[in-house]
């Protein structure tokens, strides 16, 4: 075909691994993937972590991260095989024909240089325009992408603008040399949901207006459905399914795709409040030491035995600070926390051993919450020893019971954390919290770092354990789909305050306050045209207001 831009044939990618005590060896991580991309079209690459999405995306620039390299196949760009070229040839192509938008723009911009200098750098390097022309082009892109004060925006340093703005600036940087292809590598994943929708709309409009082709990499099918013409589903370095976006979303052929489409569809009937709440937080204020600013302002919530209170909000809304105050890691400046009928001391040192035992915590990053040099058995055994004095065979029996409860089983008892997958690590953390026989567990973004399907498994497990053990959860998350799946009551936090609080049915039913409305309408839905619909709706409302 005449208008084929990128033609990838039987692409194989290998990485060198260094197992301890053994010789380094090569393993294949992408096993013969083929696809084509037409000029001006957008192909979505979707899959879980480890599926090879980014690696395949970067292969369009013949670039391998770390020890990764392309070991076979062809990558034809504009009709020539770029793998046949040398380093100088690749340098001439990178930043000119193909450009890249990274997941974390905050890390991908050089902190020591002004934004304008970085945005036009590739354009100048490849002689695509004079400095004055390039700057004019950049300002035009800043304006198109909805950046504030487009004429002056480039004078700022990366730390002077927000994460959402940086992500737009990175898109401007990628579009400035007028490339044929842009690789978007999870460009909105690190953003808050209310920011994501604006950036997504800006990216989509910029792609449309410039007519550039794009590879759009993400793990979120609902997001890619808004921007892609075609979607390729990847798993473990191989293609599972390829089709146009409508077919993948509405009529997927493969079971794996179907699972991705129907992710987050846990049915959960909310429970009625009981007469006596387990946890009662009253008029809580808190600030960090040495600051004069309240991070929590007059927060009051209740959690009933055996139920789940979801605390939802954007980064910086005070969710995690609330958890720190409840656990005693941060002593509040005003207010009262009562737990199981007792008033909890503000300082953790003053709390009784039972207070500590009955209130456990699970974190977002399971791998840093475990000692890498302890086995799973030792990790789960610690609280058994510490709180109940269990030893030897009795302890081992209980560890195995707990391993069975988290659906992993005895065979994991001697493994080290490094030998577990992300989901398994989080399960071990859950078992460790359960070992203390707590009345309540604080779950701080426990599924945020996990792939959707794995996260679903963790949520199901948490619900099962709640049914069996009667444990209550204070579930902190920014993800509204998770909230829908597990909550009995919900507290929406915004800038340190609870702006909406009640049972799940109440909170998720109209009429909404402005912030909750913004939050709910920003969650990507798994249907075509959702983005246009929401943006048009918002424009109409702001015009009417």
80 to 4, 95, 321: CA distances (angstroms): 11, 17, 55
CB of 448 vs other proteins, minimal distance in Å:
20
DSSP notation for 263-323: -S----PPPPPPSS-SEEEEEEEE--TT--S-SEEEEEEEE-TT-EEEEE--TTSSHHHHH
Angle at 447 between CA 440 and CA 28, to 5 degrees: 145
Helix (H) or strand (E) holding 381: helix 376-388
- Check residue 93 for interaction with other proteins (CB under 8 A): yes
Nearest to 507 by CA among 495, 523, 519: 519
Site string for other proteins, 49-88 (x = CB under 8 A): ------------x-x-x-----------------------
Q: Which of 13, 57, 109, 139 lies at the binding interface for other proteins (CB under 8 A)?
A: 109
CB of 311 vs other proteins, minimal distance in Å:
28
Q: Which stretch in 113-121, 371-379, 507-515, 537-545 sits in contact with other proteins by CB under 8 A? A: 113-121
Q: Which of 7, 81, 121, 270 lies at the binding interface for other proteins (CB under 8 A)?
A: 121
CB of 372 vs other proteins, minimal distance in Å:
21
Residue 182 or residue 403: which is nearer to other proteins going by CB? 182
Angle at 176 between CA 161 and CA 52, to 5 degrees: 80
Helix (H) or strand (E) holding 144: helix 131-144
Record the tokens describing residue 367, joined without a space: 């791998």
- Check residue 112 for interaction with other proteins (CB under 8 A): yes
- Check residue 189 for interaction with other proteins (CB under 8 A): no
CB of 153 vs other proteins, minimal distance in Å:
14
Residue 98 or residue 197: which is nearer to other proteins going by CB? 98
Helix (H) or strand (E) holding 403: helix 392-405
Q: Which of 12, 69, 125, 396 lies at the binding interface for other proteins (CB under 8 A)?
A: 125
CB of 15 vs other proteins, minimal distance in Å:
16
CB of 196 vs other proteins, minimal distance in Å:
20
Do 90 and 96 touch, CB atoms closer than 8 A? Answer: no
- Check residue 91 for interaction with other proteins (CB under 8 A): yes
- SS3 of the chain: helix, strand, coil, percent, to 5: 40, 25, 35
Strand partners of residue 44: 216, 231
CB of 106 vs other proteins, minimal distance in Å:
9
In the window 131-160, what residues touch other proteins (CB under 8 A)?
Answer: 156-157, 159-160
Residue 106 or residue 535: which is nearer to other proteins going by CB? 106
If DSSP codes are grouped into helix, strand and coil, which group holds residue 359? Answer: strand
Residue 79 or residue 111: which is nearer to other proteins going by CB? 111
Q: Which of 126, 140, 398, 538 lies at the binding interface for other proteins (CB under 8 A)?
A: 126
- Check residue 268 for interaction with other proteins (CB under 8 A): no
Report d(CA 444, CA 312) in Å as an integer: 11
Residue 7 or residue 121: which is nearer to other proteins going by CB? 121
- Check residue 96 for interaction with other proteins (CB under 8 A): yes
Residue 125 or residue 268: which is nearer to other proteins going by CB? 125
Could you tell me how many helices (H) and strands (E) the chain has, helices first?
A: 22, 20
Report d(CA 207, CA 510) in Å as an integer: 35
**Chain centroid offset of residue 31 CA:** 26
- Check residue 100 for interaction with other proteins (CB under 8 A): yes
- Check residue 111 for interaction with other proteins (CB under 8 A): yes
- Check residue 238 for interaction with other proteins (CB under 8 A): no
Phi/psi at 67 (5° precision): -90, 15
Binding site for other proteins (CB under 8 A): 61, 63, 65, 90-96, 99-100, 102, 104, 107-113, 118, 121-122, 125-126, 156-157, 159-160
């Amino acid at each position: 075909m005449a208008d084929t831009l990128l033609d990838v044939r039987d692409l194989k990618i290998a990485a060198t691994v260094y197992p301890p005590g053994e010789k380094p060896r090569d393993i294949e991580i992408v096993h013969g993937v083929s696809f084509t991309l037409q000029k001006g079209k957008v192909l979505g690459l979707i899959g879980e972590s480890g599926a090879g999405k980014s690696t395949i995306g970067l292969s369009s620039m013949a670039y391998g991260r770390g020890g990764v390299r392309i070991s076979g196949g062809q990558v034809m760009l504009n009709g020539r095989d770029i793998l046949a070229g040398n380093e100088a040839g690749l340098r001439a192509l990178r930043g000119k024909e193909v450009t890249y938008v990274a997941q974390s723009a905050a890390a991908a911009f050089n902190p020591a240089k002004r934004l304008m200098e970085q945005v036009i750098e590739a354009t100048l390097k490849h002689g695509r325009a004079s400095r004055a022309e390039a700057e004019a082009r950049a300002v035009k892109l800043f304006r198109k992408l909805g950046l504030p004060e487009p004429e002056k925006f480039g004078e700022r340093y990366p730390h002077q603008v927000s994460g959402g703005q940086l992500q737009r600036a990175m898109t401007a940087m990628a579009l400035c040399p007028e490339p044929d292809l842009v690789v978007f590598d999870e460009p909105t994943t690190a953003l808050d949901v209310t920011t994501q929708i604006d950036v997504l709309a800006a990216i989509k409009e910029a792609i449309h207006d410039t007519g550039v082709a794009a590879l759009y990499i993400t793990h979120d099918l609902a997001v890619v459905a808004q921007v892609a013409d075609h979607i390729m589903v990847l798993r473990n370095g191989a293609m599972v399914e390829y089709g146009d976006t409508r077919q993948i979303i509405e009529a997927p052929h493969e079971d794996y795709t179907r699972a991705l489409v129907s992710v987050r569809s846990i049915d959960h009937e909310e429970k009625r409040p009981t007469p006596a709440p387990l946890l009662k937080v009253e008029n809580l204020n808190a600030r960090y030491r040495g600051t004069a600013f309240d991070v929590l302002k007059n927060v009051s919530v209740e959690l009933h035995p055996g139920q789940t209170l979801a605390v939802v909000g954007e980064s910086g809304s005070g969710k995690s600070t609330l958890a720190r105050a409840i656990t005693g890691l941060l002593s509040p400046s005003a207010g009262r926390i009562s737990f199981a009928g007792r008033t909890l001391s503000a300082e953790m040192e003053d709390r009784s051993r039972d207070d500590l035992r009955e209130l456990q915590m699970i974190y977002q990053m399971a791998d840093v919450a475990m000692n890498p040099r302890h086995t799973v058995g030792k990790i789960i055994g610690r609280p058994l020893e510490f709180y109940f004095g269990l030893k030897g065979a009795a302890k081992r029996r209980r560890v195995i019971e707990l391993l069975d409860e988290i659906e992993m089983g005895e065979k994991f008892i001697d493994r080290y954390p490094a030998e577990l997958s992300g989901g398994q690590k989080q399960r071990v953390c859950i078992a460790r919290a359960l070992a203390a026989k707590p009345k309540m567990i604080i779950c701080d973004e426990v599924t945020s770092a996990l792939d959707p399907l794995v996260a679903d498994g963790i949520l199901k497990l948490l619900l099962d354990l709640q049914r069996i053990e009667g444990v209550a959860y204070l579930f902190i998350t920014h993800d509204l789909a998770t909230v829908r799946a597990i909550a009995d009551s919900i507290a929406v936090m915004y800038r340190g305050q609870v702006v909406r609080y009640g049972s799940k049915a109440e909170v998720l039913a109209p009429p909404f306050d402005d912030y909750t409305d913004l939050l709910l309408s920003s969650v990507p839905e798994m249907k075509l045209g959702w983005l246009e619909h929401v943006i048009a709706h918002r424009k109409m409302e702001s015009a009417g207001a």
